[in-house]
Chains A and B, each alone.
Chain A
Amino acid sequence: MMEVRVLIVEDEALLAMAMEDGLEELGYAVVGTAATAAEAVRMARDLNPRVVLMDVRLKGAADGVDAALAIRDAGLEAKVIFVTGSREPVVLKRIADDHPAGLLFKPVSPEEIGAAIEVALA
């Protein structure tokens, strides 16, 4: 079975590291971690991951939803799974507008992320 390539978009370095570790252990190939929306879009284009784990709050003006929309507009195949710490209605509404492949709320275990990835790719 081919390794599933995953891009992590998360501006907190330790959190990104922990997710990377956990996913690697579960057998996923983490191709990179991005901390800003622009970086996320660029890396999604360059690295061609199958799954993007997208935090909503990011460094800089643009947030994860902006990045997800840009990725889709660029015609990329990557499935976007949001991993957010916020449940504010405004944010949830914007996420829903993007019709993501998955939505997880922090705190989240690597196993839960793995399960969501399987659902998204099924």
Chain B
Amino acid sequence: MTDALRQDSPLPLTVLAAPVPQRRNRAYLAAIAGFAIFGTALLPFADLALPAVPEFNIFYITGVIFGDVSTALLLFAQFRASGRASLLVLGMAYLFTAAIAVPHLLYFSEFAPRVGWLAGAPQTAAWLWHAWHLAFPAVALGFVAVERWAPDLVLGRRSRALRWAVTGVLCASVGLTILFTAFESQLPLLHDGRSWRPITFQLGWTMALLTLAAFVGVLALPSRYRVMHLWLSVALVAFFFDIALNMLALERFALGWYAGRMSGLLAASFLFVMLLRETARLYVSLGEALQRSSTLNAELERRVAERTAELRALAESLKGAVDERDVLLSEVYHRVNNNLQTISGLLLMERRQLPDAEAGSALERMARRARAMGLVHQQIMTSGNLHQVDLQRLLADLAANLRESLAFDAQGIGLEVAAEPVAVDIDKAMPLGLLVNELVTNAAQHAFPGRDGGRVRIALTREGDMLCLVVADDGVGLSEVPKGFGSRVVQGLVRQLDGRQDVEGEGGVLRRVVFPLKEAE
């Protein structure tokens, strides 16, 4: 956004209410100073008599009417756009000067009505001029008051307010015109045909002081560096010299009379020029801003695309690294698994060479343990994430394996598994697999001596953060607390699981092991 578009008030933006950058407001202040110096330099020569050119007044007032009407229309347009009350007040000041300048021109020239109660009188034109030059600074002071004490005042029904304002101003000028024509004879004399009378000076000083007050008031506003404030201060300076030079001219057609009117014309047309200038400037900066924002958008889009591509590449390479790791891990598990299979095979081969049945069954147990460990690895390879083992599948596989290697079918022993699908880390799965292997082997070897068959049951249930493993048989039960290597292995595995076990030995053995699902932190 450009300086002209930056806004520090919450009001709707108008060109006139837009702040002016410091560089330019210095230029405006310099213009004021220049005007003041030039005008002051002319003051001593104001009474220099010059040839009478009444047509000059026609030229001057026509210019003033054009400038003031244009300015009023612009101010009203800005008021309609923003609703700022101060703009309406200022617009009224300009409309009034234009409205009162029309009869002034008529009564100054030969176009004035010659008959009836509107017929011109000698003092009419002068009175109209004085009303005009009193009203303008007075209303300008009103503008200053609104800007100072109610700068954020925004009117609601703008069209209605505008209609009332215009009607009021026109009525006032018509009323004053009637006063200065029909009742001219009852008013004091302002001039004796050519030279000013004392009352002209009293009124003149009043106007000049009002104008100065308005000027100071504008410059003292907290928000003075806005287009309309800077412009109004220039206009007020010009207006001040209009009054002062006219007063010091002492009579019509003196140097001050001409110079004062020139100054008044400048005061009237200054805003018009300035407003055109600011509008043009604003237009250019808007165009630039639009162009910049579109360039900015393109740049932004380009960067987003760039960043997205970078992130995508990063994600790809991370995924590649993870895939690579998974392949390696899978390979390792595969080898461990194969090795366990080999160990188990070797143990079985060794067993066959042994004449001793006791030693043979020990080797067989070892082979089964190695296979149980292999099964856990087998499960983790297929888990998808290479970290967790599904206990439901592990126990099903383990049971199938044990059923064959312990020849359950041949002995008429049934083996049932009921496990919930629970995923655990390999640190839990490994001791659990070995534990089940151990307990089922125990049942097969000790529960059913001399029987034709029986039933072994494996159950795994989850209770919150805890898992409960039950291995039960309907065999002979426990006659004494088991000691021996097998029960030491079981105790060790339960400890590794951070679990506790309890055993029921009546009507078969029921062993329950409860352990946490996750490692304690």
Residues 77 to 111 of chain A near chain B (Cβ within 8 Å) = 85-88, 105-111
Picked from B330, B346, B382, the residue with its CB within 8 Å of the CB of A18 is B346
CA of A86 to CA of B341, assembled, Å: 13
Residues 355-391 of chain B, each 1 if its beta carbon lies under 8 Å from chain A, else 0: 0000000000001101100110010011000000000
* Main DSSP-derived SS at the B contact region: helix
Instruction: Let me know if B341 and A15 touch, CB within 8 A.
Output: yes
Residues 392-447 of B contacting A (Cβ, < 8 Å): 397, 400-401, 404-405, 407
Within 8 Å of chain A (Cβ to Cβ): is B17? no
Majority SS of interface residues in chain A? helix
Contact check, B378 vs A15: say whether CB atoms are below 8 A apart: no
Tell me, yes or no, whether B462 is within 8 Å of chain A by CB: no
Complex contact A111–B370 (CB within 8 A): no
**Interface bracket on A:** 20 to 34
In the complex, per-residue mask of B327-350: 1 if CB is within 8 Å of any chain A CB, else 0: 000100010011011101110110
Q: Do A85 and B338 form a contact, CB below 8 Å, given A109-B405, A111-B405?
A: yes
**Is the pair B342, A112 in contact by a Cβ cutoff of 8 Å?**
no
For B381, list chain A residues within 8 Å (CB). Answer: 86-88
Query: Complex Cα distance A111/B406, Å?
Result: 9
Complex CA distance for A87 and B348, rounded to whole angstroms: 25
A85 and B334: CB pair below 8 A?
yes
Given A15-B341, A106-B374, A107-B375, A21-B405 contact (CB < 8 Å): no
Is B404 a contact of A112 with CB atoms below 8 Å? yes
Q: Please state if B338 and A12 are interface contacts (CB–CB under 8 Å).
A: yes
Is A106 a contact partner of B341 (Cβ separation < 8 A)? yes
Which single residue of chain A is at the shortest CB-CB distance from B402?
A109
The residue in chain B whose Cβ has the minimal distance to the Cβ of A21 is B349
B338 and A18 within 8 A (CB): no
Given the known interface contacts A12-B338, A17-B345, the answer about A112 and B382 at a Cβ–Cβ threshold of 8 Å is no
* A105 CB contacts on chain B under 8 angstroms: 378, 397
- A122 in the interface (beta carbon within 8 A): no
User: A115 CA to B405 CA in the complex, in Å?
Assistant: 11
Query: Given A85-B337, A86-B334, A109 and B349 touching (CB < 8 A)?
Result: no
Residues of B within 8 A of A87 (CB): 378, 381-382
Q: Does A32 contact B (CB under 8 A)?
A: no
Nearest residue, chain B, Cβ from A18: B345
Q: Mark A1-36, 1 if CB is under 8 A from B, else 0.
A: 000000000001011011101100100000000000
CB <8 Å contact, B345 and A22: yes
| Cβ-based interface call for B303 (8 A) | no
Complexed CA–CA distance, A89 and B159 (Å): 79
| A115 surroundings in chain B (CB, below 8 A) | 404
The answer to whether B338 touches A15 (Cβ under 8 A) is yes
> Given A87-B382, A107-B337, A107-B370 in contact, is the A112-B349 Cβ separation under 8 Å?
no
Contact at B330–A88, with CB atoms within 8 Å?
A: yes
Q: Which residue of B lies closest to A17 (CB)?
A: B349
Q: Which residue of B lies closest to A115 (CB)?
A: B404
A106: chain B residues within 8 A (beta carbon)? 337-338, 341, 374, 378
- Measured in the bound complex, the distance between the Cα atoms of B367 and A108 in whole Å is 11
Q: Which residues of B lie under 8 Å from residue A110 when comparing CB positions? A: 348
* Given known A18-B348, A25-B352, A85-B337, contact A12–B342 (CB-CB < 8 A): yes
A18-B349, A21-B348, A87-B378 given as contacts; is B342 within 8 A of A109 (CB)? no
- A111-B345 in contact (CB<8A): no
* CB atoms of A107 and B352 under 8 A apart: no
* B345 neighbours in A (Cβ, 8 Å): 14-15, 17-19, 21-22
B43 vs chain A, min Cβ distance (A): 104
Find A85's partner among B341, B346, B371, B397 (CB 8 Å cutoff): B341
Q: How far is the CA of A21 from the CA of B341 in the complex (A)?
A: 14
Measured between alpha carbons, how far is A17 from B342 in the docked complex, in Å? 9
Q: Mark B452-479, 1 if CB is under 8 A from A, else 0.
A: 0000000000000000000000000000
Instruction: Give chain A residues whose Cβ lies under 8 Å from the Cβ of B401.
Output: 107-109, 112
| Closest Cβ neighbor of B368 among chain A residues | A109
Chain A, Cβ-Cβ closest to B338:
A85
Q: Are A109 and B404 in contact (CB under 8 A)?
A: yes
- Asked if B352 and A14 make an inter-chain contact with CB atoms under 8 angstroms apart, the answer reads no
> B330 — which chain A residues lie within 8 A by C-beta?
88
1/0 per residue, CB under 8 A from B, across A43-72: the answer is 000000000000000000000000000000
Instruction: Kindly list the 8 A-B residue pairs having the minimum CB-CB distance in the complex, ordered from nearest.
Output: A18-B345, A107-B374, A111-B404, A109-B405, A107-B371, A87-B382, A112-B404, A107-B341
28 intermolecular pairs with C-beta atoms under 8 Å apart: A14-B345, A15-B338, A15-B341, A18-B342, A21-B348, A25-B352, A85-B338, A85-B341, A86-B381, A87-B378, A88-B330, A105-B397, A106-B378, A107-B340, A107-B341, A107-B371, A107-B374, A107-B375, A107-B378, A109-B367, A109-B368, A109-B401, A109-B404, A109-B405, A110-B348, A111-B405, A112-B405, A114-B404
A interface list, Cβ under 8 A from B: 12, 14-15, 17-19, 21-22, 25, 85-88, 105-112, 114-115
Q: Beyond A15-B345, A88-B330, A109-B371: 5 further Cβ-contacts under 8 Å? A: A18-B346, A85-B378, A109-B401, A111-B405, A115-B404
